[in-house]
Structure 1
Amino acid sequence: MEEILKGVKKFQQEVVPGRKEEFAKLAYGQEPEVLFITCSDSRIDPCLLTQTVPGKLFICRNAGNVVPPHSNQTGGMTASIEYAVEVLKIRDIIICGHTHCGAMQGAIQPQALDGIPHVKEWLGHCRAASAVVKERHGDLNADYLDEITKENIKLQLQHIRTHPSVAAKVATGQVHLHGWMYEIETGQVQALDQDSGAFNPL
């Protein structure tokens, strides 16, 4: 915690004075162009990855970069997506998974999550991704972690299309969807080709 507090002090003393105009403008509103949905994993920093400044990304994070399918039950992800699309008028949505994802490891071995039932239930939204990989190979194990992670990105893109606000804007070309796979150890990003289903270097 001491390191965090030192960081705040450094930000206030060294960063803010040189960017007063920028922060003053941000105080009166935001106009992000991209909704960036990614994992809560501490090893991922969307702004560092995209080299963007405050105000450019509207960021939603949770374990496994999950987008629950739309329902009549209000949740934080549903509300945030609706706000981003209808109020902020974002033009692109990126769902970004990553290598070495603990949530996807949990999807491989859901029985290991019995002691954390809310996490287990949440990762039920990834079940179809695990099912695809299991059908393809006959079993599930850690060797297929990256493959499950990529299938999960595809699955969450399917889920977000069930949200009425997103479906309407995608159908009229006002919003575009993107799937990314971030490799922690190299910084490389692969982007989903939604026609072929393949991930290619960005």
Structure 2
Amino acid sequence: MDRILRGVIKYNKTVKKDLVEQFKRIRDNPNPIAVMFTCMDSRMLPTRFTQSAVGDMFVVRNAGNLVPDALNYGESSEVSVTTEPAALELAVKRGGIKHVIVCGHADCKAMNLLHDLHLCPKEFDACSPMDNWVRNNGYKSIQRLNERLHSGSKSIPFHSLVSPSQSFEALIDPFDKLHIHDKLSQINVLQQMINITSHEFLKEYLESGKLFIHGMWFDIYKGDDYLFSKDKKQFVNIEESTITELMSELERRCGKSIMDSFVKVEEN
């Protein structure tokens, strides 16, 4: 706490004045452009590696950037009442957000735990909130990892039952350069994209082209940020040599909305 309080004092002396001015500018019209679901890992700094300004983005964080599948609740529940779908409704239905991003990362402790529990089921602690969280919401990611390990470099399908237009195929680490935990982390990002589409209240937005879901993955050791390309069926490093092609794909898929968002970030 001493370190945190001293940080507040430093904030008061350095960035507070500028930040308050930013708050004033967006007070009546914050106009965020995206909602990002990312991990609570202390090494993840999404507003920094996307260079987002105040008011640009909603950020929802949890262990493993998991978004519970609506189908997990079964017929006994009328609605999935958890933070993640509530945040989606707030951002999309009530806030007019057009872009949802799921961002995972390398060396994700939640994904490491999920994989370890898969290998050693006896280690599962029924009284552990964390064990239950990753197992209940990550089992489909584990299934997809097993598919990847059996299929090798072949693409694997990700099907959306509620919004078929959101289905896609993916080549996960086609050159086998990643540790198995990081393979799982990338697969998990893609599975959460599908989980998001399972929520019925988003179907109208997705099928009418008013909402777009994106997958990102951050390498915390190299500082590289990747975007999943549906055209290339894999994660592509976002850099000067790839940005034009990535933007072209996004513009074709998302239309003018992606360009408006890009211009807004550039202006900030």
Task: Summarize deviations over 1:88-146 as a string: whole Å, max 9, x none.
Answer: 111211100000011111111123442762212211211111122224436xxx94111
**Does residue 91 of structure 1 match 2:98?**
yes
Give the structure 1 partner of residue 175 of structure 2.
none
| Contact 1:32 1:58 (C-alpha < 8 Å) held by counterparts | yes
Matched, 1:39 2:1: no
The correspondence for 2:129, drawn from 99, 103, 118, is 118
**Contact preservation (8 Å) 1:37, 1:60:** yes
Aligned residue in 2 for 1:23:
23
Match of 1:160 in 2: 196
Name the CA shift for 1:172/1:23 in 2 (closer, same or farther; >3 Å). Answer: same
Which amino acid in 2 is paired with 1:131?
A: Q
- Aligned partner of residue 3 in structure 2, secondary structure: helix
Name the SS of the counterpart of 2:69 in structure 1: coil
Counterpart residue number, 2:110: 103
Structure 1 distance, partners of 2:99, 2:105, is: 19
Q: Matches of 2:16 and 2:61 in 1, distance apart?
A: 26
SS of alignment partner, residue 109 of structure 1: helix
The two structures, once aligned, show a CA RMSD in angstroms of 2.0
In structure 1, the residue corresponding to 2:217 is in which secondary structure? Answer: strand
Distance 1:19 1:129, change over 3 A: closer
CA distance in 2, matches of 1:196, 1:54: 33
2:127 & 2:104 partners in 1: Cα distance?
A: 22
TM-score normalized by the length of structure 1: 0.89
Could you tell me which residue of structure 2 aligns to residue 128 of structure 1? 140
2:8 aligned partner: 8
1:191: how far off? 1.2
Q: CA deviation at 1:74?
A: 0.9
8 A Cα contact 2:126 2:132, kept in partner = no
* Structure 2 unaligned blocks of 5 or more: 74-78, 151-177, 239-268
The residue correspondences of 1:144-183 to structure 2 (distance < 5 A) are: 144-183=180-219
CA distance 1:29–1:159, shift in 2 (3 Å): same
- Output the TM-score relative to the length of structure 2: 0.69
Please report how far the alpha carbon of residue 67 of structure 1 lies from its aligned counterpart in structure 2 after TM superposition. Answer: 0.5
Contact 2:38 2:62 in 1 (8 A): yes
Aligned length: 199
Alignment partner, residue 59 of structure 1: 59
Identity rate, percent:
28
Q: 1:113 to 1:41 in 2, by over 3 A?
A: farther
Q: Following TM superposition, by how much is the alpha carbon of 1:166 offset from its aligned partner in structure 2, in angstroms?
A: 2.7
After superposing the two structures, state which structure 1 stretch, 80-89 or 189-198, moved more: 189-198
Q: Is residue 197 from structure 1 mapped to residue 233 from structure 2 by the alignment?
A: yes
How far apart are residue 190 of structure 1 and its match? 1.5
Separation (CA, whole Å) in 1 of partners of 2:229 and 2:209: 17
Gaps of 5+ in 1: none
- On the 8 A contact 1:106/1:113 being kept in 2, the answer is no
Q: State the SS of the aligned residue for 1:94.
A: strand
